[in-house]
Amino acid sequence: MTAVLPPSIRANISVSPVPAHPPMLLAFMMWGLAVAFYLFGFFHRVTPAVLTSELMRDFSLTAAMLGNLSAFYFYFYAGMQIPTGVLVDHYGPRKILSIGALIGGIGALLFAFADSFASSAIGRGLIGGTVAVAWVSLLKLSTNWFDARRLGMVTGIALAIGTMGAVLAGLPLRVLSDAYGWRNVIGASGFIALVLALAIFLLMRDDPSDSGFDSHAGTSPQLAQPSVLSILKGMAEIWRYRNVTLLFWAQSGLCGAFLTFAGLWGVPFFVQQHGLTAKSASLITSGMLIAFSCGGILLGMLSDKLRKRKPPFVLGGACVVLGFGALYVAPDLPLTMLVPLLLLGGFGSGSMVIGFLHGKESAPLRLAGTVAGAINMGVMVGPLVQQPAIGWILDHYWGGMIIDGIRLYDMSAFKLAFAFLFVWVLTSFVALLLTRESNCRQYRN
* Sequence-distant (≥ 6) Cβ neighbours of residue 25 within 8 angstroms: none
Hey, CA dihedral for 376, 351, 139, 167, is it positive or negative? positive
Of 111, 112, 114, 108, nearest to 131 (Cα)?
Answer: 108
Per-residue model confidence (pLDDT) at position 7: 55
Which is more confident, 60 or 325?
A: 325
Residue 11 has pLDDT above 60, yes or no: no
pTM: 0.77
Per-residue model confidence (pLDDT) at position 209: 76
Contacts 24+ apart (CB under 8 A), 197-201: 197/98, 197/99, 197/100, 197/101, 197/102, 197/105, 198/98, 199/33, 200/33, 200/34, 200/37, 200/94, 200/97, 200/98, 200/101, 201/94, 201/98
Residues above pLDDT 70, as percent of the chain: 89
Distances (CA, A) of 57 to 158, 349, 409: 35, 32, 16
Q: Output the average pLDDT for the chain.
A: 85
CA distance 320 to 358: 19
Classify domain 33-205+231-433 at the CATH class level: mainly alpha
Which is more confident, 221 or 57?
A: 57
Burial of 410 (0-12, 13-18, 19+ CB in 10 A): middle
CA distance 385 to 230: 29
Residue 311 has pLDDT above 60, yes or no: yes
Residue 222 has pLDDT above 50, yes or no: no
Would you say 49 and 71 are in contact if contact means Cβ atoms under 8 Å apart? no
Question: Which whole number is the average pLDDT over 218-222?
Answer: 46
Ranking 27-31, 140-144, 234-238, 260-264 by mean pLDDT, the lowest is 234-238
Chain centre to alpha carbon of residue 269 = 23
Residue 14 has pLDDT above 60, yes or no: no
CA distance 172 to 133: 26
> What are the φ/ψ torsions at residue 60 (nearest 5 degrees)?
50, 60
pLDDT digits (tens, 9 = 90+) for 339-366: 999 999 999 999 998 998 899 889 887 7
pLDDT digits (tens, 9 = 90+) for 364-413: 877 776 787 788 888 888 998 999 999 999 998 888 777 776 778 889 99
Distances (CA, A) of 261 to 48, 71, 303: 11, 13, 27
User: Can you give the length of the chain in residues?
Assistant: 445
Confidence class for position 266, pLDDT limits 50, 70, 90: very high
Neighbour-count burial for 428-437, b at 16+ CB within 10 Å, e otherwise: bbebbeebeb
pLDDT digits (tens, 9 = 90+) for 418-436: 999 999 999 999 999 999 9
pLDDT digits (tens, 9 = 90+) for 149-193: 777 778 778 877 888 888 898 889 989 998 999 999 999 999 999
Residue 33 has pLDDT above 80, yes or no: yes
Q: Give residue limits of the domains in the chain.
A: 33-205+231-433
pLDDT digits (tens, 9 = 90+) for 73-126: 988 888 787 677 777 877 888 999 999 999 999 999 999 999 889 999 999 999
SS3 content of the chain, % helix, strand, coil (to 5): 80, 0, 20
